[in-house]
Amino acid sequence: MSYTIESYLSVNINETIEKLLKRLSKRLNCFVQLVPENDCCNDIRELIDVQHRKHDEFTFYDYPIEYQNRTIGILQIGDNTEIEIIKGFQTLINQLIINHFKWKSIKSSKIVQVDNIDEDLIEKFIKKFEEIRKRPTVDKWSSQEARSNFKIKVSTYAKRNLPIPFVLLGFPFKSTSDEKVIGHLPDMGEYVCLKRLEDWCESVKEIYPPGVRFVICSDGRIYCRLLNVEDSIIFQYRHAVVNLLPSNNISWVGLDDFLPNEIYNSDAKREFLDLVYKPSLEETKKNISENGNLKVVFETFKQFVKEEKKFASNESDDKECDCITYKMMQRNQVYSDFMEDLFPTHIRLSIHSHDSIKKVGINLLGDGDTATPVTLQFIVKI
């Protein structure tokens, strides 16, 4: 099933656009604002008016935001010449606004408001989710903060009698090692993971008939250059994995859904995301040192890089392996933050271990805690 607007509920679109504008302001070190056009309709004015601020001391450059072939707002950038990054923000904000109004246009008969949410139902759903939840080294799943975050997002959809949406990053590409895989296309390994996910989605309907919807963000272009994998291989893999198991419960998205090819090629997409989202190396190292689960992810990535690159156990190779692994961690954060901005109301999942506060780890193999991120991301044997 391809990406459809029914899987995206942008109830926080103002907040999402605000976050994007703040990111742009920080990266460009200038003031950014979004203001409506004078002749735009009330719905659009209400949507983007909240972003409007008056700063007479700035010289602004105007970049149009369009909807249905007409300008509905102006992205105003103070004293800036980095045109490529601004084009990317135009594209993203356009997509968010289009999604917002597509959602509003869905017939109201599809949404049934529930006055009182059955707390027992929410608890049953949480217990059901435990079937696929990964148990990390540092696990705060039982804390009030983690439970509250999870319950709020579940309740947001349950009170509307809508499928509960999850967003998961995964399935970028296969290992390049001929000692691990038989080729660069998905095989029975990916099928087993997706079948387990599909079976769980169907079983949820026994306690909550609207069910759940998984959005899988699969686009190995984020990482592939670090491991000498060509974009053409990524495209072949993604086309195959998306069509491996047809499902009404699983949708797939990638960079092209939000940064169209007619605007950006693959290199430009990577450059744009790095400019906007990539944390510094110092910040990345600090986060890893302070987070036990990220340390586990780092060591797992490092082992994978060592095997892929066939690094020996010596000081020179260890140093290069660390360098590539840190870059992978940076890119992983880039994609994670990008999808957080685009899917603010979805429950965020990962095949890696997390503390369950902002993101929850899941196990797609059904083997308890023995499955590793590398096993799942770069499934190796049939």
Tell me the C-alpha distance between 20 and 93, whole Å. Answer: 8
Compute CA distances 53 → 34, 50, 76, 91, whole Å.
Answer: 8, 8, 11, 22
pLDDT the model gives residue 156 = 80
The region of weakest confidence among 17-31, 194-208, 321-335 is 17-31
Can you give the pTM of this predicted structure?
A: 0.75
pLDDT the model gives residue 327 = 94
pLDDT the model gives residue 109 = 35
Across all residues in the chain, what is the average pLDDT?
Answer: 76
Asked whether the predicted pLDDT for residue 380 surpasses 70, the reply is: no
Residue 250: its H or E element: strand 250-253
Reported as a pLDDT band with limits 50, 70 and 90, residue 63 is low
Name the CATH code of domain 5-105 (choices 3.30.70, 2.60.40, 1.20.81, 1.20.58).
Answer: 3.30.70
Reported as a pLDDT band with limits 50, 70 and 90, residue 73 is low
Cβ–Cβ under 8 Å, residues 324 and 330: no
The region of weakest confidence among 18-22, 27-31, 345-349 is 27-31
DSSP 73: E
Residues 131-159 have pLDDT tens digits of: 998 887 777 877 888 888 888 888 888 88
Name the CATH code of domain 112-377 (choices 1.10.3470, 3.40.50, 1.10.760, 1.20.950).
Answer: 3.40.50
- Domain extents in the chain: 5-105, 112-377
pLDDT the model gives residue 269 = 83
Asked whether the predicted pLDDT for residue 125 surpasses 80, the reply is: yes
